[in-house]
Amino acid sequence: MAWYVIVLIASAALFLLTTIGSFIFGEMDIDIDTDVDTGGDFLGGDIFSFKGLLHFAIGFSLTLTLMKEVTITSVSIGIIAGVVFVFVLYYLYKITYTKLQQNIKYTDEIVEMDAEVYFWNESRKIGEVFISLEGRPVTITLEGAEGMELEKGQKLKVSGTRKSVHPVEFII
């Protein structure tokens, strides 16, 4: 088996695993942090990333596999195909992300929401609570529970912002 077929199989398998993983576990960030100044948002971390490398490898190795030979011409066409794969898939991700974001209304204010105490430091009067925000569980800082004795697992109503909330009342 030729090396470019092995690269095609490996990169396609990794691509499928990351795609399935993102459907099951939500957004997975496997991107590599680079210190390259790309001059703006267009050529940012989305193109020069692990996903970008996978897309290039798929396009490049698929071209060589279809041409069934390694020559200067096939390598040149493979490089062009790899770059095209990177940009086409980048734009597909961007369009899909934009369409998904149109259905989500973000609000900074949290008004009278049920929460569960996750952590509480009695001496500092600060802790964390679990709440459901936009359909997913998140932890938010709980501040200023003067006169309230809180403990882990306790249910209460909170209000505040995405950064911190304060207790309003206990839930019995």
Digitized pLDDT (tens) for each residue of the chain, 172 residues in all? 789 889 889 998 998 888 787 777 655 544 444 444 444 444 555 667 778 888 899 999 999 999 988 899 989 999 999 999 888 888 887 887 777 665 555 556 666 778 888 777 777 778 888 787 766 777 778 887 666 777 788 888 887 776 777 677 777 6
Q: pTM of the entire structure?
A: 0.50
Q: What is the structure's pLDDT at 45?
A: 56
Looking at residue 100, what is its pLDDT? Answer: 66
The pLDDT, as a whole number, for residue 81 is 93
Q: For domain 109-170, give the CATH number.
A: 2.40.50.140
> Distance between CA 114 and CA 105 in Å, rounded?
19
Phi, psi of 100 (to 5 degrees): -65, -35
Where in the chain do CATH 2.40.50.140 domains reside? 109-170
| Sequence-distant (≥ 6) Cβ neighbours of residue 166 within 8 angstroms | 142, 143, 144, 145, 158, 159, 160
